């Protein structure tokens, strides 16, 4: 397939990415990767492993290297087609860091201070509140704006960052002339925020090492056990409802993996207790992930394929990104003979 952006001019562009900063969870799968699979045929897609973002929190270098490959293998195993999409590693394309620097000068201190993820992460890593953590959303804006992205499919937690990217694009376009496409978030309601199994009022997260998160690579037994132990309310009816955070969450997980609608799921479990429902959710998740895990192993065993894919796709991404970067350099007044 020809991934030259010029030959696909009519297709709208998607950019999204995941940090290789921990074991990917079913939150990452449902909130991001699963939606990418549905969108990949309609859009020209960039799916990135955002390693530059990952070092805003201290990483063990060997683990970061390993996880970078793993995240790419998970994209492939989940069904992202390497022939159709540009799948690459952020640090392989220097234009991301280059544009981020320029955009830093068009982003206000006050705007970044309002980012809720910065506030949350500062609390979580109070011993390492580095400047990168603060300017993180600017690098994310650079990721998105470099490729003239129309749509950014993510979970709810990234909405504020995408809105900031829009504001930065608008500001730059107004100061100079139209340079960037203004990106739109793509955040479907039932996949927007998968909650922790141990506290369904909190987001499921890669950094939760307890029973609250189900990893994409978790064993069948672990998956079923964690879902069985998921915190739910004291009721007994399996249906969406206020105050039923745990059940709402399990229904969202179930619909994402089974492909059923919320109404179909409620009907299927009408009259059965929470125990039976949890067992069915566990089995469904474990069955779906089994297939992904088998393919994951196959990709991880083929180092040459993964390395070749990264290299080829970084070249494609860079060649497309350079067009935007040159435009930006010219507009701000950099002298390039």
* Min separation Cβ 226 and ligand TYM, Å: 14
Active-site residue flag, 312: no
Residues forming the site for ligand TYM (CB under 6 A):
15-19, 27-28, 30-32, 50, 53, 140, 143-144, 152, 154-155, 157-158, 193-194, 203-204
Tell me phi and psi for residue 54, to 5 degrees. Answer: -65, -30
Helices (H), the chain: 26-28, 34-39, 51-54, 61-78, 95-104, 109-113, 116-124, 131-146, 159-175, 220-228, 245-258, 262-268, 274-300, 303-332
| Count of alpha carbons within 13 angstroms of residue 295, beta-carbon side | 16
Which residue, 86 or 152, is less far from ligand TYM as judged by CB?
A: 152
Structure tokens that stand for 96 in this block: 């991301």
Which residue, 57 or 265, is less far from ligand TYM as judged by CB?
A: 57
* Min separation Cβ 92 and ligand TYM, Å: 14
* Min separation Cβ 28 and ligand TYM, Å: 4
Which residue, 2 or 254, is less far from ligand TYM as judged by CB?
A: 254
In terms of Cβ atoms closer than 10 Å to its own Cβ (0-12, 13-18, 19+), residue 229 is middle
Which residue, 203 or 301, is less far from ligand TYM as judged by CB?
A: 203
CA distance 152 to 23: 22
DSSP string, 142-156: HHHHHTT-SEEE--G
Which residue, 50 or 224, is less far from ligand TYM as judged by CB?
A: 50
By beta-carbon distance, which residue lies closest to ligand TYM? 31
Decide: 30 and 214 in contact? Cβ < 8 Å: no
Beta-carbon count within 10 A of 24 CB: 24
Measured in whole angstroms, how far is the alpha carbon of residue 26 from the centre of its chain? 11
* Min separation Cβ 38 and ligand TYM, Å: 14
CA dist list (Å): 139 to 118, 131, 148 = 13, 12, 15
Which residue, 159 or 302, is less far from ligand TYM as judged by CB?
A: 159
CA distance 74 to 83: 16
Decide: 133 and 83 in contact? Cβ < 8 Å: no
Kindly name the residue from 3, 69, 121, 278 that is annotated as catalytic.
Answer: 121
Kindly name the residue from 3, 69, 193, 203 that is annotated as catalytic.
Answer: 203
Active-site residue flag, 121: yes
Which residue, 14 or 310, is less far from ligand TYM as judged by CB?
A: 14
Active-site residue flag, 69: no
* Min separation Cβ 243 and ligand TYM, Å: 20
* Min separation Cβ 82 and ligand TYM, Å: 19
* Min separation Cβ 163 and ligand TYM, Å: 12
Kindly name the residue from 69, 206, 244, 278 that is annotated as catalytic.
Answer: 206
CA distance 258 to 288: 8
Active site residues: 121, 203, 206
């Amino acid at each position: 397939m020809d991934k030259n952006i010029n030959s696909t001019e009519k297709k709208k562009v998607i950019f999204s990415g995941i940090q290789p900063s921990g074991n990917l969870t079913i939150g990452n799968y449902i909130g991001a990767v699963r939606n990418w699979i549905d969108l990949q045929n309609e859009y020209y897609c960039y799916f990135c492993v955002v390693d530059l973002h990952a070092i805003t929190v201290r990483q063990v270098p060997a683990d970061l290297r390993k996880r970078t490959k793993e995240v790419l293998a998970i994209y492939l195993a989940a069904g992202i087609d390497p022939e159709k999409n540009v799948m690459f590693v952020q640090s392989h394309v220097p234009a991301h860091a280059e544009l981020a620097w320029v955009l830093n000068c068009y982003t206000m201190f006050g705007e970044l201070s309002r980012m809720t993820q910065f506030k949350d992460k500062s609390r979580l890593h109070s011993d390492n509140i580095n400047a990168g953590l603060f300017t993180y959303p600017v690098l994310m804006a650079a990721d998105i704006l470099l490729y003239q992205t129309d749509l950014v499919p993510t979970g709810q937690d990234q909405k504020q960052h995408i809105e900031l990217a829009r504001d930065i694009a608008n500001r730059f376009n107004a100061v100079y002339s139209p340079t960037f496409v203004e990106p739109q978030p793509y955040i479907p309601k039932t996949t927007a925020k998968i909650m922790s199994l141990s506290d369904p009022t909190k987001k499921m997260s890669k950094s939760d090492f307890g029973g609250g998160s189900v990893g994409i690579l978790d064993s069948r037994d672990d998956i079923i056990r964690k879902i069985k132990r998921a915190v739910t309310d004291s009721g007994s009816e399996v249906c969406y409802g206020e105050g039923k955070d745990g059940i709402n969450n399990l229904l969202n997980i179930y619909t994402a993996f089974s492909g059923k609608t919320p109404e179909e799921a409620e009907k299927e479990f009408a009259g059965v207790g929470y125990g039976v429902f949890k067992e069915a959710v566990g089995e469904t998740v474990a069955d779906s992930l089994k297939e992904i895990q088998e393919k994951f192993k196959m990709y991880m065993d083929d180092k040459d394929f993964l390395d070749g894919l990264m290299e080829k796709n970084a070249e494609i991404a860079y060649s497309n990104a350079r067009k935007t970067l040159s435009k930006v350099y010219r507009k701000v007044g950099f002298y390039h003979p």
